[in-house]
Structure 1
Amino acid sequence: MGADVNESATFRHTTVLLDEAVEGVLARPDGIYVDGTFGRGGHSRLLLSKLAPQGRLIGIDRDPEAIAAAAAIADPRFSIVHSGFADMADALAELGVHQVDGVLLDLGVSSPQIDNPERGFSFRFDGPLDMRMDTTRGASAADFLARAEEREIARVIRDYGEERFAGQIAKALVARREAGAPLTRTDELRELVARAVKTREAGQDPATRTFQALRIHVNGELAQLEQGLKSALRLLAPGGRLSVISFHSLEDRIVKTFIGQHSKAEVDRRAPFAPPPPLALMALGRVKPSETEVRANPRSRSAVLRVAERTDAPLKD
């Protein structure tokens, strides 16, 4: 999730693919844009610097700390909404906006979230096992592990963490819970996973995949992404741009598939020589961080930016 280096913040973050994502989304300087993952405003600030006086930028984030950070932007062209980007169409409608010229999404979790032990996102610090991006609602990771069946826990860790030891980890979690010691701290989860995972990738903590899986599940990230892409496509005006940064294969697969569904014609076998139907998107490219950026910010190494442009074709049903 995008965030810039904020000198007044305790937890800092360097925005990944900053110039590339903003350049990708900026269709016309006098347009209306959505930063669906405001974070600490890295992409938003750069985008505002490139907008014309009549341009407009609407930031969206479901993290109350991000909403508070947005107060530092004193620009009449900017407004912030406390919401998930999956609901951006409804959120913008309340502002009287029904069409935009660009939507930027920087997926995943931001460094201010990761580096704050109280948020519970990281196994590097001991803290409450929370992991909610919106701390005002929903069940925490500890809540989920306290009530879910072993089979459900294993499914989440396997499907969202691509963890081959998901069954062993789930079994150990439930055994500890049934012994009267449910997990409430990140250190407890990290130590339990370390005992359950028999082998590990070089340079990777054995808890990495489990923490990712629980975070994705607690925040409904993949469903949010699928719905958010649909909302963005409905909002985009012809010529408008969609610019999405993802950080792991599950996210990127959804983005790649979505853009492909709306930008690649399927041949009608009943009429193979018929002209292809008009498509709603035109894929503009895929960008990875440069070697220089990865050296400066190792967290950027897995990032993928995909950009597409809205055509004037009608949407598929």
Structure 2
Amino acid sequence: MNAPHVPVMLDEVLEYLAPAASRPGAIAVDATLGAGGHTEALLSAHPGLTVIGVDRDPTALELASKRLAGFGERFVPARAVYDAIPDVLAASGHETADAILFDLGVSSMQLDQPERGFAYAQDSPLDMRMNPDDELTAETVVNTYPVPELVRILREYGEEKFAPRVAKAIAASRAKAPITSSRELADLVRDAIPAATRRTGGNPAKRTFQALRIEVNGELDTWRAALPAALDSLAPGGRVVVMSYHSLEDRITKHELARRASSTTPAGLPVDLPGTAPTFRLLTRKAQQPTQTELDRNPRSAPARLRAAERVATSTGEGGDS
């Protein structure tokens, strides 16, 4: 739990974004700023680049802003959820971005703050809000959601095959007293899962905690809206990199990028009809995973799946307004 805040797949991120980030006066959006590691590397690599760092977590913005203060006006903090990228760009005086980065899921910084309640290995309040101003907490979900709804969340968001057992155990426990701590919930989940299954796959509570975090922060619904909005905000020749840590996030990413990279001309026609040509080019044919070297250095990177794409340039080669 005291692992350093190491940017995941940093070399790959820099490689894929370099052609767009190195444009004169380029604008990039780090849509999930976190501790600012990716942004720091991008700003260091490209002296002409400005990065707008987006995060819903005020603590993340404050800490990252201190870390990146040396870059002056080349770093622009913005408190927002990442589905608001068009608004964030407009507020900064730009219509488009040259590069956009998403590093989805919970950040190492949030995991390492016990009071946030993201970590099942520490005893802390059941919170899990990325934005502390939001009303819904994990404690509310655990103590008030009907059993069928808990089962759905655990199964869909946590891919927990013992979802009914876990949900029933939660219901039985909360009937006696509210469940208020992460340690209490983690112990309850562990006891609900068959002993033979608990021997492999790490802490059995991780799937439940992932499901609750996704529900509390509306992550999948937000992602379904955020990715199309971000792609529409890229300038011609602009690039996007997405790192997902959950199969549903990655599936949404894969399908949306594939859709944008495909022609909509009816099959059998020799050329694309006007307005039907692909608008994006895939830079990764399948999701990339961390190297073994990175896994040895940063075990938290293990679930990461990276996809990248480039917006097809216009015939005149025009970029964005940046």
Query: Same fold per TM (> 0.5)?
Result: yes
1:183 to 179, 185, 191: 179
Tell me the residue number matched to 2:55. Answer: 61
Q: CA–CA distance in 2 between the matches of 1:267 and 1:97?
A: 32
Tell me the residue number matched to 1:39. Answer: 34
Moved more, 246-255 or 79-88: 246-255
Q: Is the 8 A contact 1:98 1:235 kept in 2?
A: yes
How far off is 1:267 after superposition? 6.3
2:189 to 193, 206, 210: 193
Q: Do the aligned partners of residues 307 and 201 (structure 1) sit closer, same or farther apart at CA in structure 2, a change above 3 Å counting? A: farther
Query: In the alignment, is residue 12 of structure 1 matched against residue 4 of structure 2?
Result: yes
Q: CA–CA distance in 2 between the matches of 1:65 and 1:23?
A: 29
2:112 to 111, 115, 138: 115
Q: Do the aligned partners of residues 32 and 255 (structure 1) sit closer, same or farther apart at CA in structure 2, a change above 3 Å counting? A: same
Query: In the alignment, is residue 284 of structure 1 matched against residue 304 of structure 2?
Result: no
Tell me the residue number matched to 2:169. Answer: 172
Which letter maps to 1:65?
A: T
Q: Is the 8 A contact 1:11 1:116 kept in 2?
A: no
How far off is 1:177 after superposition? 2.0
How far off is 1:11 after superposition? 7.3
Moved more, 110-119 or 193-202: 193-202
How far off is 1:287 after superposition? 2.5
Which letter maps to 1:222?
A: L
Q: Is the 8 A contact 1:62 1:83 kept in 2?
A: yes
How far off is 1:209 after superposition? 0.7
1:225 to 223, 226, 230: 223
Structure 1's consecutive aligned runs of 4 or more residues displaced over 3 angstroms after TM superposition are none
Q: Do the aligned partners of residues 170 and 28 (structure 1) sit closer, same or farther apart at CA in structure 2, a change above 3 Å counting? A: closer
Tell me the residue number matched to 2:73. Answer: 76
Moved more, 284-293 or 117-126: 284-293
Tell me the residue number matched to 2:125. Answer: 128
How far off is 1:111 after superposition? 1.3
* Aligned residue runs from structure 1 range 187-266, under 5 A: 187-198=183-194, 199-200=197-198, 202-265=200-263
How far off is 1:264 after superposition? 2.3
Q: Is the 8 A contact 1:58 1:81 kept in 2?
A: yes
How far off is 1:312 after superposition? 4.0
Tell me the residue number matched to 2:302. Answer: 301
Structure 1 gap ranges (5+): 1-9
How far off is 1:23 after superposition? 2.1
2:101 to 99, 104, 107: 104
TM-score by length of 1: 0.90
How far off is 1:248 after superposition? 2.3
Q: Is the 8 A contact 2:95 2:233 kept in 1?
A: yes
Q: CA–CA distance in 2 between the matches of 1:274 and 1:290?
A: 41
Which digits, 9 at most, give the CA deviation of each residue in 1:96-140, with x for residues without a partner?
221110100111111111122111111110000111111122311
How far off is 1:147 after superposition? 1.7
Q: CA–CA distance in 2 between the matches of 1:260 and 1:203?
A: 32
How far off is 1:201 after superposition? 5.7
Tell me the residue number matched to 2:14. Answer: 22
Q: CA–CA distance in 1 between the matches of 2:4 and 2:129?
A: 19
Q: CA–CA distance in 2 between the matches of 1:249 and 1:40?
A: 24
Structure 2 gap ranges (5+): 315-322
Q: Is the 8 A contact 2:262 2:277 kept in 1?
A: no
Secondary structure, in 3 states, of the residue corresponding to 1:92?
helix
TM-score by length of 2: 0.89
Which digits, 9 at most, give the CA deviation of each residue in 1:258-285, with x for residues without a partner?
111111235625xx23424311111011
How far off is 1:32 after superposition? 0.6
How far off is 1:35 after superposition? 0.4
Secondary structure, in 3 states, of the residue corresponding to 1:76?
helix
Q: Is the 8 A contact 2:21 2:28 kept in 1?
A: no
Q: What is the number of residues matched between the two proteins?
A: 300
How far off is 1:171 after superposition? 1.4
Secondary structure, in 3 states, of the residue corresponding to 1:287?
coil
1:273 to 269, 284, 287: 269
Query: In the alignment, is residue 149 of structure 1 matched against residue 149 of structure 2?
Result: no
Q: CA–CA distance in 1 between the matches of 2:308 and 2:180?
A: 40
What is the aligned-residue RMSD (CA, Å)?
Answer: 1.7
